[in-house]
Amino acid sequence: MNDFRPLRAEDLVIGERTDIGTHTPSLGEIVDFASQWDPQVFHVDIEAATAGFFGGIIGSGIHSLAIYQRLAVQNLFAQWDVIAGRSIDSIQLTAPLRPDVPVHGLVTVQNIVFSHDDRALVTTLGELRPDDGKPILTIVADSYVRRIDRR
């Protein structure tokens, strides 16, 4: 037993920004992820990638998204009473995910719409960026979060 009560939609604050920490993907993690889910040559073939457009292996955009989601769940969404994601309105892949380069996550609550009696639609802006560079990922997503039960 514990006293953990997840945050409801009414507890969230528009404009609030949360640091969700850092993750550093190894070359092995990048190649393993892409081998399973996105086996394009520039994600999985070191020799071809080195000779190619980016001069080396870059991570799958879905891997960037998965890294963001893990950081966000572990360090923020686990404290919210989330029902499920509903849509992702925009993902910009503005720079490549590179092996051994730490990427740092931030989440901003952009909007809260009290759409149903039992839940609200919460819009978040997420970012993943290296310490000294431009974002590799920005994502705007809508999720349903439970409202406080007044019955």
Min dist CB 80 to its own copies, Å, is: 10
By CB under 8 A, which span of 9-17, 64-72, 101-109, 121-129 interacts with its own copies? 64-72
Q: Which is nearer to its own copies, 15 or 25 (CB)?
A: 25
Q: Name the nearest CA neighbour of 7 among 112, 92, 97, 99.
A: 112
By CB under 8 A, which span of 13-21, 83-91, 107-115, 123-131 interacts with its own copies? 83-91
Can you tell me which residue has the tokens 């980016």? 54
By CB under 8 A, which span of 14-22, 63-71, 100-108, 125-133 interacts with its own copies? 63-71
Q: Which class for 130: exposed (0-12), middle (13-18), buried (19 or more C-beta within 10 A)?
A: middle
Q: Sign of the C-alpha dihedral, residues 78, 81, 85, 88? A: negative
Query: Judged by CB under 8 A, which of 20, 31, 57, 65 binds its own copies?
Result: 65
Query: Judged by CB under 8 A, which of 39, 55, 102, 133 binds its own copies?
Result: 39
Calculate the alpha carbon distances from 2 to 5, 6, 75, 137 in Å.
9, 12, 19, 36
Tokens of 9: 């939609």
Q: Residue numbers of the site for its own copies (CB under 8 A)?
A: 36-40, 42, 53-54, 58, 60-62, 65-67, 69-70, 73-74, 77-78, 82-93, 96
